[in-house]
Amino acid sequence: MRRTFKRLLSLAAAVGLVSSAAVAQSELEKIMKERGLTQDDILAAAKTYTPSGGRDKYIVFSSGGQSGQIMVYGVPSMRILKFIGVFTPEPWQGWGYDDDTKKVLKEGWYRGKPITWGDTHHPAISETNGVYDGKWLAINDKANPRIAIIDLKDFVTKQIVVNPVFKSDHGGAFFTPNSEYILEACQYGAPFDNEYHPMEEYADVYRGGVTCWKFDHENGRVIKDESFVIEMPPYMQDLSDAGKEMSYGWGFTNSFNSELYTGGIEKGLPPFEAGMSRNDTDYLHVYNWRKLAELAKDPKNVKVINGIKVIPIEVAVKNDCLFLIPEPKSPHGVDVSPDGRYIVVCGKLDTHATVYDFKKIMEAVKNHDFAGKDPYGIPIIDMKKAMHCQAELGLGPLHNQYGPKWKTEGEIYTSLYVDSQVVKWDYLTCEVKDRVNVNYNIGHLCGMEGKTEDPQGEYIIALNKLAIDRFNPIGPLHPQNHQLIDISGKKMKLLYDMPVPLGEPHQAVAIRASKLHPEVRYPMGTNPFTGKVHEGKTLAGQEKIVRKGNHVYVYGTLVRSHINPEHVTVNKGDIVTFYLTNLERAEDETHGFTVDWYNVHASLEPGKTVAVTFKADREGVFPYYCTEFCSALHLEMMGYLLVKDPNKKYKSVKKIKLKKMSKEQLMKEYKKTVALNEATKKVIQSVVKFLKENHYEKYPVVKQLVEDAMDQFNKVPAEEKKAEEALKKGDIETAINFQYQAWQYLVKTADVGIRAKDLLVRKLATPMSEAAKRGEAAFAEGGCNGCHVIGKVSSGPDLVGVLKRHENGEKWVAEFIKNPASKYNDPYVKAMIDYFNLRMPNQHMSDQEIKDIIEYLKWVDENANLF
Amino acid sequence: MRRTFKRLLSLAAAVGLVSSAAVAQSELEKIMKERGLTQDDILAAAKTYTPSGGRDKYIVFSSGGQSGQIMVYGVPSMRILKFIGVFTPEPWQGWGYDDDTKKVLKEGWYRGKPITWGDTHHPAISETNGVYDGKWLAINDKANPRIAIIDLKDFVTKQIVVNPVFKSDHGGAFFTPNSEYILEACQYGAPFDNEYHPMEEYADVYRGGVTCWKFDHENGRVIKDESFVIEMPPYMQDLSDAGKEMSYGWGFTNSFNSELYTGGIEKGLPPFEAGMSRNDTDYLHVYNWRKLAELAKDPKNVKVINGIKVIPIEVAVKNDCLFLIPEPKSPHGVDVSPDGRYIVVCGKLDTHATVYDFKKIMEAVKNHDFAGKDPYGIPIIDMKKAMHCQAELGLGPLHNQYGPKWKTEGEIYTSLYVDSQVVKWDYLTCEVKDRVNVNYNIGHLCGMEGKTEDPQGEYIIALNKLAIDRFNPIGPLHPQNHQLIDISGKKMKLLYDMPVPLGEPHQAVAIRASKLHPEVRYPMGTNPFTGKVHEGKTLAGQEKIVRKGNHVYVYGTLVRSHINPEHVTVNKGDIVTFYLTNLERAEDETHGFTVDWYNVHASLEPGKTVAVTFKADREGVFPYYCTEFCSALHLEMMGYLLVKDPNKKYKSVKKIKLKKMSKEQLMKEYKKTVALNEATKKVIQSVVKFLKENHYEKYPVVKQLVEDAMDQFNKVPAEEKKAEEALKKGDIETAINFQYQAWQYLVKTADVGIRAKDLLVRKLATPMSEAAKRGEAAFAEGGCNGCHVIGKVSSGPDLVGVLKRHENGEKWVAEFIKNPASKYNDPYVKAMIDYFNLRMPNQHMSDQEIKDIIEYLKWVDENANLF
């Protein structure tokens, strides 16, 4: 504690006291004053701010709520990296706008009708030995009970599975410790069949349950035929958790309508909320999924309903696989401790968290020591006999996450909805340790791998349901507020408020970024949804248009900056399929594709092949184009779909007379383009020389960029050859355009090459002294860089080597900066004045500044080879 | 400059030098070291970090690219506040999932077919006298040429207008200075009719143009009948800008295919990108929209094509309303200076920005001083005669934004795509002032109101097209990167990298936050799309179900936490309309609504009425529920739609026997609920007393919360009355549930009331001394708050008043903290030990810490009335 206190004092010195007393004019103090920031704010800023190119330590996958998507963000920067299209079409990703993604979404339709949204609730990361392995992500749709699987290699949804017996699903998805199964609990009780049954038969016919989806961990797909449902009473099952270590093989699911209340406000009865919150306790469901999975293999033990195996309650009970334990009023979270021994349940209408001991539960099971049976015949274990301890936490406790000191200190964090707090406590002793206010009304909370066997430290995220006054107002619909909390000290500290701009995230899971290994490109011609070569894979030179009956197949390619083919003519009524392959290998060089007014869109990451199919049922001229700003010429990356009515006669129209160039004028232009290309090549060669000499191949990102540049450069000879051939045939116009095409490739080579060079320079340059750094700043602040660009002749001479250009160079330059006019008659300076038609002005630099600038110029000369 | 330099030095002292030398152990330094942050990073963090509840100075509206949406974020925090649904359905907002929003989206369909996405490009804020007025936002869809209007009162899209003659639209939307018109330029040339015309007739039949959409500035709607199209040659018009001040009434639009090239890579011809970039210049189109608007009123001057008025080229030319000026190779931006005199155009394949002088243009127009005519008969003004100056900026200049010193220093910023830089230069002298590297390949850039008559300072945002290595990898599809640049100093500085998680934003516009006045609720029963009372408006007590033929209308309400009605039974094949009104008045108290498997979803902000209609074509039981986490009992906010097949006979099933409670047991439970309610009321009354005594009504946000709490509280008596009535009738079960319902309202009252109280406490408390602040930290870090919660009896006694509880209180408490065991035999301490079954432990606090804690406890006592 003494150490901590000392640190606090020294912080005050570094940030506050010193700047306010000793160095009153400090820049930091000025900003703090202007922006009303406290010392704590500066510390929080320092703990979260991530400079350009910086990496986050954790990646969070948050459900998108009613957006139907998944939100991905980094911790501690709290910057959102991607919304992944899951249950709702999303055109940027082509999700639901090209053929292959439409197929995945269609898997999620039910009883023949399209479902175009979802209410995502609980994301889950696949596990190996109870620890996140970073391979797959699963998430449920509460509204239309479904599970989706996302591949963490490319962050793309690969499968959607419909639950054919549930009508609602709040409490999915939860992986078992080796991803054998994904648990998905039913929520609102309803008949398992698809028939009408009146509310009066709620207890009799309506049912709840837990579906155990068999998961192919290797290939990341749910195997429907090997999955099964555990039938349960319509107690409105809520969240689940899978046991681990000593409780491995068991599942735990809570519920909130043990009253079996059926509402009726329109009939003058109390509403659901009243009747469902009447009992002091509801039921924790404890079941042996491992044994049930074995039982489900025998057809005698299951009923098949709507194509899925259902294990009836009586079968589960008979085989000692299903038990109930009372749990506090209307519970929300059920969270198994990292060692699998304790199960912590919070009742949202109770002030306590209850800690159950799995050993005690098993003791009761073993001894058949039950307090009775529920109306469905399920044995009830006495709550007190199963309990380890209870902690009084406050109003509205909901969910729990474990901290890294779970073993020694029982470290656990719980969200309090009504009190708007996060409480830190010890689940071994049920003592409260600390609490922090959040804004406002927290639902779930997200620890760093906080529900695995290996919880990490440092942060907890509060997923608050109300923002109210936290952000700039943007109309009646507010963002949610995810608040980052520092848990690394004894006292929790609020670090950052992140508004959620889309959807109402329900729960989030965080994983160490180091466990993720996403790819940057697909093997050429891949269909990401099969992982195999796409039927429409097309390489450069293989482009073609094939008609089969009234179906026209276009095999096309995209590369900076053209689509091949550029004209496609079809008949009205034809079905048209565009197969398109992005030939790029460069990271982040995505192309897009759309045909105007035909409501299709595809995102083509490097190497991917997509298909878009539509009926060309409207006559006319429809531009298609690349929808990504992929190069300086992206607007020119386009083509035309022409849809002809085969039953119509068209008259030719020619009215505009275009001016034609003479042969001499054309030849002049041709030569000009050839000269331009030669000049551009020289620039490229100098860059290439620089890159080679400096061993670019040692730096992976630079190497990648150089490969990309060379991809472009290697296309040049073919275009030049085409130009020469056209010239031989006397078609100078076409020859010119092919030379321009060669130039386009040269420009793209230069674009990427320069980026590679700049990156390499930064990697190679010698470190700057503090004086040189100050000098660089003074050089900029003094406006020197308005005329002098290091490494280039700009509005003034290049200053690389300037110190060696003159005798006593340092002195000469210092004098010249101090008093430029004194040297206007120096022959060299005179020549420069003539050349640039500008005189070096007096910028009134101080002696110290001039000294520093000289240091900077020395550094420039040290690194002269890099400019 | 000297001042600046001093500031730099003192910054080093405050952040770096002192902490590294004098106070080596500082917390800040530790964080900097751990996270690898430099001094510049800390300054950038301080300039952007926005603590909880802080406000951004500027709000940015960014196009969402192929997402079809608009992204809203704050500057300088760079936190994304909302994605507004525009052209693509978005379920969180109910956008495209309820009846009224479907209607708006349907306005954007064309030739009878649904269009369910868009490629948004250029957002524009409505203007009054050339300055943003914060009322309306317009944006275009490039793929399916349309314009959408967003209301900045509620941030909701209110209108979508289809362009019936264009087939593509890149260069919209641009408001004229008093929002008279929205300019929308065509991009890819195509026939204005809907017929097929072969590519060979490109010059003859294909056309470009600019549509002038008449705008009703008061009501925020485009008036289609008063709008018109200016026909132009198929030069592929690109971006536009409206003249202002001296150039008021004129429009400027550039283009990039003056070559009229038509591609043909599939025929062995050079691709579009080559042929379109052949000429050294393209054409800037200069037109008098004001005069053309007058001309369009005379039917003689227009052709009506697909229902819209088109002014033919020859009419525009004849009336001196359309001119061309050569502009550098393949231009992108065309940006009029704040005083309307200069038009700056950048050619992306040229290294220059060209500044045109409107005075010179008008001189040429007046004197009919033309260099010739294009093939369409449009007069061409000599480029040199119209030019003010040219600045050599670098490779790939694209767009421009003006800075606050535009008048005196010609302050302008230009993006360089290939060089990946932002250049600051002077458009009056064409001198370059400064440049900063960005990462990577910047497209547009966004100044703060940087294209209005009143550009603001401080920031420029670089909208970079490639992120490559800037963020944690998330698969082949990367986010874009918006980089915030500080322009307040002489030298531009990179402050922050913001990944864009959805879509490829094309352009963004920023407005001072103080100009926006969004509403937090709708007047009860509003239809936001008409601004009038919704036909389905329903107040509490008016809920009903009405059948008209096979159409069932449900008039329902939502309020925390129930939907009324809770059961709706219809026949299979019925059309069902749910009219729903959110009865809440509380800010941020949004409800959602869905019926499982029926693919509808609505977002109900406070006061809003929505309609959702669907055909109940599937038999069965379908839960409906509130999709927002609106209170602790949100899961219980649900109901059932039961769809019965009228042609089927159903057998009744009753098999489960539920236990019944005896009358005595029921009465016991009834009394328990009444007692619970009384106890809860007492808590509420104490909160209310506190709020009243402390004049909550003086603080608007607190007042709002109290009103919200009282809304809930006022519902209690009616429920209690219902309970008493049921009791009289002998229906104790129902009586109990009504008492529970009363309790639900009490819980919600307490929830909001506590939030109000906490807010008020923060507003009322006396300021803390530095010593007291240290004491509060020590209290927490020492673990004191594990047992002692200020204002509450927890695991230890409440410490409010502790200093007065003992004689020589300060000394007593100090001694007790220092050596608790010394007082274990003190009678008071003994009593406490017995009561809590805990002894105060020795936490080994230093003397300074104890002193500070005493100061903190003094502050607590000063504010005793607040706890």
Listed residue (A123, A73, A127, A131) closest to A461, CA to CA: A73
Amino acid identity of residue A25, one-letter, is Q
Put the strands of the sheet holding B480-486 in their side by side order. Answer: B442-447, B459-464, B480-486, B493-500
Output the average pLDDT for chain A: 92
Could A264 and B603 be called an inter-chain contact, meaning their C-beta atoms sit closer than 8 Å? no
Contacts of B261 in chain A (CB under 8 A): 737
Q: Residue A15 and residue B28: Cβ atoms within 8 Å?
A: yes
- pLDDT above 70 for B406: yes
B28 or A340, which is more confident: A340
User: How confident is the model at residue A460, as a pLDDT?
Assistant: 98
Looking at mean pLDDT, say which of A436-440, A796-800, B149-153, B670-674 comes out highest.
Answer: B149-153
A232: left (phi over 0), alpha (psi -120 to 50) or beta: beta
A379's tokens = 């044995």
Per-residue pLDDT tens digits for A818-866: 988 888 888 888 888 877 767 788 878 889 889 999 999 998 888 877 7
CA distance A253 to chain B (A): 16
Q: Which residues does chain A have within 8 Å of residue B273's beta carbon, measured at their own beta carbons?
A: 561-562, 633, 636-637, 741, 744
C-alpha dist (Å) from residue B776 to A528, B781, B784: 55, 9, 10
Q: Which residue of A has its CA nearest to B566?
A: A264
Q: Which residues of A touch B738 (CB under 8 A)?
A: 270, 274
With CA atoms as reference, report the closest residue to A237 among A174, A194, A195: A174
Residue B61 CA to residue B506 CA, distance in Å, equals 11
- Contact between B84 and B69 (Cβ < 8 Å): yes
Alpha helices in B130-246 (DSSP H): 202-205
- The dihedrals phi and psi of A443, each to the nearest 5 degrees, come to -100, -105
Residues A372, A337 contacting (CB under 8 angstroms): no
Which of A8, A49, A759 is the best substitution to test chain B (most B C-beta atoms within 10 A)? A49
CB contact under 8 A, A167 and B8: no
Enumerate the residues of chain B whose CB falls inside 8 A of the CB of residue A239.
none
Q: How far is B713 from chain A (nearest CA, A)?
A: 15
User: What pLDDT score was predicted for residue A12?
Assistant: 38
Q: Using CA atoms, how far apart are residues B793 and A251, in angstroms rounded to an integer? A: 37
User: How many beta carbons lie within 10 A of that of residue A404, not counting itself?
Assistant: 20
Cα dihedral B217, B218, B224, B229 in deg (nearest 10): -10
Q: Is the model more confident about A683 or about A62?
A: A62
CB contact under 8 A, A621 and B191: yes
pLDDT confidence of residue A20? 31
Burial code (b: 16+ CB inside 10 Å, e: under 16) for B787-811 equals: bbbbeeebebbebbebbeebeebbe
Q: Choose the closest CB to B639 out of A263, A466, A630.
A: A263
Residue B367, both tokens = 């004197």
What pLDDT sits at residue B4?
33
In whole angstroms, what is the distance from residue A458 CA to residue A248 CA? 28
- pLDDT tens digits, A72-108: 999 999 999 999 999 999 999 999 999 999 999 999 9
CB atoms < 10 A from the CB of A392, how many?
A: 15
B632 secondary structure, DSSP code? T
Residues of B with CB below 8 A from A30's CB?
A: 7
Which residues on B lie below 8 Å from A734 (Cβ)?
A: 269-270
Q: Looking at chain B, which residue has its C-alpha nearest residue A615?
A: B113
- Dihedral angle computed from the Cα positions of residues A316, A255, A442 and B82, in that order, rounded to the nearest 10 degrees: 80
SS3 B518: coil
Enter the pTM of the model: 0.88
State both tokens at A230.
């555990």
- Which residues from chain B sit within 8 angstroms of residue A36, using beta carbons? 54
Peptide bond into B77 cis (omega under 30): no
Where residue A755 falls among pLDDT bands split at 50, 70, 90?
confident
Helix extents (H) in B36-83: 39-48
- Report how far residue B434's alpha carbon sits from residue B51's, in angstroms, rounded to the nearest whole number: 32
Q: Give the pLDDT confidence score for residue B21 in this predicted structure.
A: 29
Q: What are phi and psi of A278, to 5 degrees?
A: -80, -45
| CB–CB contacts below 8 A, A to B | 825
CB within 8 Å: B167 and A561:
no
Instruction: Pick the residue from chain A with its C-alpha nearest to B115.
Output: A599
Structural contact between residues A672 and A732, judged by C-beta atoms closer than 8 angstroms: no
Do B46 and A42 lie within an 8 Å CB cutoff?
yes
How far is CA A423 from each of CA A402, A453, B168, B792, B867, rounded to the nearest angstrom? 12, 21, 56, 15, 19
Residue of chain B whose Cα is closest to the Cα of A270? B738
Nearest neighbour of A781 by CB, restricted to B4, B187, B638: B4
Measured between CA atoms, how close is A166 to chain B, in angstroms? 10
Q: In chain A, which residues have their Cβ closer than 8 Å to the Cβ of B786? A: 431-434
pLDDT band with cut points at 50, 70 and 90 for residue A488: very high
- Residue B785 to residue A434, Cβ atoms within 8 A: yes
Q: Tokens standing for B188?
A: 């890819």
Q: In what order do the strands lie in the sheet with A387-392?
A: A331-336, A342-347, A352-357, A387-392
Q: Which of B227, B236, B394, B245 is nearest to B297 (CA)?
A: B227
The Cα angle at residue A546 between residues A540 and A550, in degrees rounded to 5: 150
Of B11, B274, B785, the CB nearest to A740: B274
Provide the pLDDT confidence category of residue A143 given band limits of 50, 70 and 90. very high
Which residues are paired to A217 by β-bridges? none
If you ran DSSP here, which 8-state letter would residue A628 be given? S
For residue B642, the cross-strand partners are B569, B621
Residue A728 C-alpha from the chain's centroid: 53
* Superfamily of B58-263+273-515 according to CATH: YVTN repeat-like/Quinoprotein amine dehydrogenase (2.130.10.10)
Residues of B with CB below 8 A from A394's CB?
none
Give the pLDDT confidence score for residue B16 in this predicted structure.
Answer: 40
A818-821 contacts: CB < 8 A, separation 24 or more? Answer: A818/A845, A818/A847, A818/A850
Residue located via tokens 């010195």: A13
Nearest to B349 among A67, A545, A632 (CB): A632
pLDDT score at B840:
82
Sign of CA dihedral B597, B603, B607, B608: negative
Q: Are A227 and A213 in contact (CB under 8 A)?
A: yes
Mutate to test the interface with B, among A28, A422, A848 (most CBs of B within 10 A): A28
Cβ-Cβ contacts under 8 Å, B574 against chain A: none
Whole-number average pLDDT of chain B: 92
> CATH classification of A526-644 is 1.20.120.420, yes or no?
no
Chain A residues close to B7, C-beta within 8 Å: 25-27, 30
- pLDDT tens digit sequence for B177-188: 999 999 999 999
- Nearest chain B alpha carbon to A280: B669
Mark yes or no for CB contact B155/A475 under 8 Å. yes
Task: Tell me the two tokens of residue A450.
Answer: 């906080």
pLDDT reported for residue A3: 34
Tokens standing for residue B665:
């047991």
Question: For the residues of B574-594, what is the DSSP string, one character each?
Answer: -EEEEEEEE---STT--EEEE
Secondary structure string (H, E, C) spanning A322-348: EEEEEEECCEEEEEECCCCCEEEEEEC
Question: Contact A506/B643, CB-based, under 8 Å?
Answer: no
Contacts with A418 from chain B: Cβ below 8 Å: 632, 747, 750-751, 754
Cα separation, B43 vs B24, in Å, equals 20
Overall size of chain B counted in residues = 867
Phi/psi for A366 (5° steps) reads -60, -45
pLDDT surpassing 90 at residue B434: yes
What is the structure's pLDDT at A22?
34
* Nearest residue, CB atoms, A5 vs list B36, B564, B849: B849
Domain A770-866 sits in CATH at 1.10.760.10
Nearest-CA distance A450 → chain B (Å): 21
Q: Calculate mean pLDDT across residues A656-663.
A: 86
A124-128/A80-84 β-pairing = unpaired
Backbone phi, then psi, for B671, in 5-degree steps? -65, -35
Least confident range from A6-20, A440-454, B741-755: namely A6-20
Give how far the C-alpha of residue B242 lies from the chain's centroid of Cα atoms, to the nearest Å. 26
Q: How far is B637 from chain A (nearest CA, A)?
A: 6
- The chain B residue lying nearest A846, using CA atoms, is B2
DSSP conformational letter for B312: -
DSSP character at residue A787: T
Q: Reduced to 3 states, what is the DSSP secondary structure of residue B265? A: helix
Task: Tell me if A504 and B628 make a contact (CB, 8 A cut-off).
Answer: yes
- Find out whether B448 and B458 touch, Cβ atoms under 8 Å: yes
